[in-house]
Every structure is written in C-alpha cells, then in structure tokens.
Amino acid sequence: MKLEKHHYKAILESLEDPVIVVLKDSTIVYINEAYSRQFNVPSEKIIGRKLKEIEENARILKVLETGEALINDCSYVHSLKRDVYANITPLKDNGKLIGAVTIMKNLNEITKLQNELERYKRYSMQLEGQLNQDHFSLLESQVPQMISAVNIARKVAGTDVTVILYGESGVGKEVFAKAIHEASTRKDKPFIPINMASIPDNLLESELFGYEEGSFTGSRKGGKKGLLELANGGTLFLDEVGEMSMKVQAKLLRVIQERVFHRVGGTKPYSLDVRIICATNRNLKELIKKGAFREDLYYRLNVVPIHIPPLRERKQDIPYIISNLLNNLILKYKKPVTMPDEIYDILRNYDWPGNIRELSNVLERMLAVCNRPKFEKSDIPEYIQHVSDSWTANVYTKSSKKDHTSLNDVLEQIEKTKLLEVMANSRNRTEAIKKLGISRKTFYAKLKKYGIK
C-alpha cells in the first residue's frame, strides 16, 4: 500500500504532541489538533499569519535563518505564556530550505517528571540514611521479651564481655551481633562472622586458626591467616557453636582462656584481641548432659546470655519489621512498591516458622513478581495465602455459631484460642506468660474469664 498525501496529515493529527509547520517566510501553514487543544489556539486564528508578527523571537525563526536543527530546545513562548520543550527541524526540497516543522512538549510535563524523579531521589537518600543509622533501631519492638533482649545488648555493647545469643534459626542473631559490634569501641575494626555448622570439621580448625606453609598437602605458599587473626582488634561472631566438635571446642576454650593461639602446623604464638559473640539454636545444657558440649566452654561463653523470641511471639512487630526489610529491598532493586493494610493483615496471620529470614525471602519474592505500584494478594506465596484463608475461616466459623455476633465476641474467641495455643506449646505457665507478654495477674484473670484450668 502506498501512502497518499492525506495519510501524512492523518499521521500528524494522531500525535499527542503539538506540531506547527511554517514556510521560509515564516507563514504558518499547519498546526495539528494537539496544538489547538493544549495551547487553546483555534487553527483558523493562526494559520496564514506570519510567525514573526506573533512571536518575534521565536526559536523557529532561527532555524529558518540558519537551516540548522534545534534539538531538545527549551524556551519561553510569550504568545502562549508558557515554557516549551521542542525539536525544531528544517524542511528541505531537493536540498533547498522551504520551511521548518516543530514538535513540542509542554514543559509542565517535563517538570512533573523531574519533580517525580527528585522525589524518588529523596526517597532513596532517606532509605540510605536508614541503613546507616544505629543498628539497634532495626531491633525496636513492642514485645517485653524482645525489649528486654535489646536493652541487655545495649548495656553490654560498650564492654568486651562475651555474649551468647539464643534463638531459633532466622530470628536475627547476626543482626543482634552486628548491632552490639557497631555500638562498641571496636566498631571501626573488623566484624568477622563464621557459621560453625557450614564448615566441615576437618577444615574448621584451619579456618579458625589459619595455617603455616607446608603444614599439610595443598596448603598455600606462605600460609594463611585464620578468622581469629583477621578479626584481631574487632569482633568474632561464632554462629551455631553447638555444632563444634569436641576437639575444636577444646582448642577454642584454650584460646579464650589464654588469649593466644597458634596456626595449624606452627609454633609461633599469636596474641588475640577480639570480642567474642556466639549464637546457637540448640540447648547447650542438654548437649552437656549428652556429652556433646564441654561444660567448661559453656561457662566461658555463657557470660551474658540473650534470648531472642521467635517471630510468631512478636507479631505486633511485624509491620515495623516489614517496613525495614522492604525499605532495604526497595533500595536494592530501585523498585518502590507500597503495601496496603490488607496485605499486612495476611502476613500477620502467618506464624513464620523460618522467622525473619523467611519473611525477608517472602518480601523479596513479592517485590520481584510485583509489577504494580502496590502489592496485591496474588503477590503473596500461595502457601501463606492458604494459611491466612484457613485462619480467617476458622475464626468466622467459631464466631458465627452465635447469633448477631459482636466484634467483642470475635476478639474474645481469638484471645482464648491464642491462650490455649501458647499454653500447649510452653513448658509451664511462667513461660506462657513471657511468650504472651502480659503480667501474671492479667494472665490468671484471663484463665478465670475463659474457664481455662
């Protein structure tokens, strides 16, 4: 199909950007509908007139004079009373200049986009500032057990006392350790983490203490510094200490006592100046009873024990935790997405057996699949949606047994269910009270209220 003359006009009329065409003598011969609409100028009012009479300093006149295009040109048009952003190109016939065509952008649109870009830049700077702030702020909580744990960490951070962090996998033990390090006098020195469970036992000793050249087949020329040596002056974070073999435990105990160590295959003593923070999800006392953990090492490590509650026992904190995690992920991926209240509610109803690590992974997955400015239910993994739907249906079924069920009835049913659930998963009532984060008096008042024996 061959384009006819009227097709070219149709193309110009289809553009959303204003177009104006002038002849070499500055006579205006064409404006498109977008020009009339955006600048409120009827075509009959302007076509046939000389541009230089309407706008004597028009940038189009310069193109007519020089025959050179002006690309991305910004100027104030007095007759239109606004700034415009335009591409002005000469029209030539067999190399002879016959006029010029201008395609404009309303500068207000450009300004709006620039303002939006500036807003995202400010948001990015705000997020960067949050990342650089006091690490303890990431551990803020409304739950008494968590508040107590953070307070202890703050108090001991300025000392060199050995700390051991107890908690399930994924509760944020390394975040605690980093916060303690950052608040200490060693903050400008290395923070060296090592997961004792991730390194094979036959390599753990050389990783911790380093080795001398020729100490074993395949050893590096000149030897290698161990993690203890790399951490000198700073903090060594030993995660999953319950997984160490008895042999490594004995060597670590000696190092802690004497503050001196030797590389594998060497005799030269190296002095040790590190702050040791440990972590475990195991019950070390039970391991001692089974002969799997040295009692003397336990007392060396268990100087300041800090117990970190699992996420299911601090659901009040979930919105704040989500906000912190999501801000970091948005900064990482440069993809701002907001979270509506109904999405928060679904995430709160889930028990998070993988704790904060699982929550972080889920948020990262949600951000990756979401292509909208805010999250929707479909962005949440199906297994979490299923748990939330089951929980809601269960509450509704129980509460709907009464006619004209009030909000108070629903809340009481939820509270009673939670009491029974926590008591069933606690060794005694004292532990249940701690998990619920309420006073002993309130706890027993609620037992009486709901007839729980």
Q: Express each pLDDT in 110-151 by its tens digit.
A: 666 666 777 766 666 655 554 445 567 778 888 999 999 999
Residues of the domain holding 273: 135-309
Do residues 101 and 165 share a domain? no
Among candidates 87, 89, 72, 144, which has minimal Cα distance to 314?
144
Q: Is residue 115 part of a domain?
A: no
Name the domain count of the chain.
3
What pLDDT digit, counting tens, does each position of 367-406 carry?
999 988 899 999 998 888 876 555 555 545 544 544 455 6
pLDDT in tens, 188-225: 999 999 998 888 877 888 888 888 887 766 667 778 88
Verify that 52 and 189 share a domain, yes or no.
Answer: no
What is the average pLDDT value for the chain, to the nearest integer? 84
Query: Which DSSP symbol is given to 2?
Result: P
**Is there a single domain that holds both residue 101 and residue 191?**
no
- Residue entry with tokens 């997955």: 365
Residues 178 and 304 in one domain: yes
Position 399 scores a pLDDT of 47
Strands 28-31 and 70-77: unpaired
Question: Quick one: pLDDT at residue 16?
Answer: 82
Q: Within 15-58, where are the H helices?
A: 33-39, 43-46, 51-54
pLDDT for residue 135 = 63
Q: Which residue did the predictor score with more confidence, 3 or 66?
A: 66
Which residues lie below 8 Å from residue 207, measured CB to CB, with a gap of 6+? 194, 199, 226, 227
**Domain closes at, from 57, 75, 109:** 109
Residues of the chain above pLDDT 70, percent: 85
Among residues 102, 99, 136, the alpha carbon closest in space to that of 18 is found at: 102
CA-nearest of 257, 169, 264 to 208 is: 264
Rounded distance, CA 74 to CA 49, Å? 24
82 and 25, same domain (yes or no): yes
The reported pLDDT for the residue numbered 367 is 93
Q: What is the CATH number of the domain that holds 86?
A: 3.30.450.20
Asked if the structure places residue 208 within a domain, the reply is yes
| CA–CA gap between residue 54 and residue 365 (Å, rounded) | 58
Question: Residue 258 maps to which CATH number?
Answer: 3.40.50.300
The first and second tokens of residue 385, run together, are 């949606």
Q: What is the DSSP string of 182-203?
A: HTSTTTTS-EEEEETTTS-HHH
Residue 120: inside a domain? no
Please give the pLDDT value at position 132.
Answer: 45
pLDDT given at position 200: 82
Please determine, for residue 234, whether its predicted confidence score (pLDDT) is greater than 50. Answer: yes
168 and 264 together in one domain: yes
Mean local confidence (pLDDT), 24-31: 91
User: Residues 352-359: what's their mean pLDDT?
Assistant: 91
**Over residues 148-166, mean pLDDT:** 95
Q: Say how many CA atoms lie within 13 Å of 309 toward its Cβ.
A: 27
Answer yes or no: are the C-beta atoms of 173 and 279 closer than 8 Å.
yes
Q: What is the pTM of this model?
A: 0.58
pLDDT tier, 86 (very low <50, low <70, confident <90, very high otherwise): confident
Residue 164 lies in a domain: yes
The helix-helix angle for 407-424 and 382-399 (nearest 10°) equals 120
